[in-house]
Amino acid sequence: MRLLTQRYGVGGEQDQLLIREARLSLRFVDSLTHIAIGACAGEWMAGRQLGRRAMLWGALAHSLPDVDFIAGLWNDPAEDLLAHRGFTHSILFAGIATYLLVQAHARLHPGVYPVKRKAYGFFGVLVFLHLLLDGFNVYGTGWFEPFSHLRVSFNWLFVADPFFSVGPGIALMLLIILRRQHPWRLWVSRLGLISSILYLSYAGINKYQIDAVVQREIRKRNWSDSAYITTPTPLNTWLWYAVVNRSDGAYLAHRSLYDRCDSMSFHFVPRRDSLLYPLFGHEPLQHLIRFSQGYYVVEQGKEGLIFSDLRFGQRQGWNDPGAPFVFYYYLSHPDDNSLLIQRGRFRGWDVSAFQKLWARIGGWGCP
């Protein structure tokens, strides 16, 4: 295991603590974003009818799909990957959750919604909005579970983007402070949500521009038989990570909206599918392949095989094309995978790292 820890920079109590903190911090920011958006949406749609309770019901309903974290208490890491944003993020679950929320609200606050369809509209919008927003990052969301295992991912946002979250977050703090009858409450909730909608639209425009560049590179290099994805790098929507997936491996590159160079410089990583043949019958491996949507590579370490999901990017890969991947799974040592997904995502982040990221966003260092 020593070689694997040296290769990926993970090992020991301090490193494991850094991994755990990175993963929990991303999930914490994601949860706070859903709470803030749900509270603002609740106030906007039902503040006059429900008072401050609208914020509480809004935050609860909008956060409800994330109840899937409970599955991590008994699932192994590979199963937990598919359970998270799986059935509880499906259209079927959203319908069931909406019905249960309406019934619970009617029992606790009878007469507030004499016409039930208004209650269904209120809770339905809040729950379905969660499903929609989670579809905009690379993890993938199981909208059609259990009838289809297709994972929806538009790849417009990084999983925790402060620029997307700041508007609803400020709005929520103001709504907590403002008195119930304050005339600004409706406008504060609206502006909080509108700021996120505008940023999301801006991210979509940025992705469209980056995709156009990647598609041009694919045509120029005669990779017409290739699939590709583009997704933002951490904490911004200006520097993007691209993966062009081919039968023998993948080509990786980074592209800023402000790059002055015409072409992109790709780094090739071989897939090494043949290394998986002895393990193909193992269910955890099938879970990993399905979760990765085919964007993976395998590496032979001294003591076993390492499965890396390319979609989550590399650790500061814009500075080092050969940097380790954020997501990797020890196939030969599955007990060492309890801290999966964001392994060392923010390891080595200091003032210098942020300066380099900012410089790369600005187009400096364009290959």
345 or 93, which is more confident: 93
- Segment 243-252 shows an average pLDDT of 96
Residue 14 has pLDDT above 70, yes or no: no
Report domain extents, the chain.
2-7+223-361, 12-205
pLDDT of residue 10: 40
Q: Which of 49-53, 130-134, 184-188, 194-198 has the lowest mean pLDDT?
A: 49-53
Instruction: State which of 25-29, 68-72, 315-319 shows the largest mean pLDDT.
Output: 315-319
The mean predicted confidence, pLDDT, of the chain is 87
**Phi/psi of residue 325, nearest 5 degrees:** -80, 150
For residue 146, cis peptide bond before it (omega within 30 degrees of 0): yes
pLDDT of residue 49: 86
pLDDT of residue 13: 44
SS (HEC) of the chain: CHHHHHHHCCCHHHHHHHHHHHHHHHHHHHHHHHHHHHHHHHHHHHHHHHCCHHHHHHHHHHHHHHHHHHHHHCCCHHHHHHHCCCHHHCHHHHHHHHHHHHHHHHHHCCCCCCCHHHHHHHHHHHHHHHHHHHCCCCCCECCCCCCCCCCECCCCCCCCCHHHHHHHHHHHHHHHHCCCCCCCHHHHHHHHHHHHHHHHHHHHHHHHHHHHHHHHHHHHCCCCCCEEEEEECCCCCCEEEEEEEECCEEEEEEEECCCCCCCCCCEEEECCHHHHHHHCCCHHHHHHHHHHCCCEEEEEECCEEEEEEEEEEECCCCCCCCCCEEEEEECCCHHHCCCCCCCCCCCCCCHHHHHHHHHHHCCCCCC
Span 18-37, pLDDT tens digits: 444 444 455 556 789 999 99
- Segment 268-277 shows an average pLDDT of 93
- Segment 186-203 shows an average pLDDT of 97
Residues 211 and 230 sit within 8 Å (Cβ to Cβ): yes
Question: pLDDT-derived band of residue 346, with 50, 70 and 90 as boundaries?
Answer: low
Q: Which of 85-89, 236-240, 284-288, 293-297 has the lowest mean pLDDT?
A: 284-288
Question: pLDDT-derived band of residue 2, with 50, 70 and 90 as boundaries?
Answer: very low
Residue 73 has pLDDT above 80, yes or no: no
Span 208-247, pLDDT tens digits: 999 999 999 999 999 988 999 999 999 899 999 999 999 9
Residue 344 has pLDDT above 50, yes or no: yes
Residue 341 has pLDDT above 80, yes or no: no
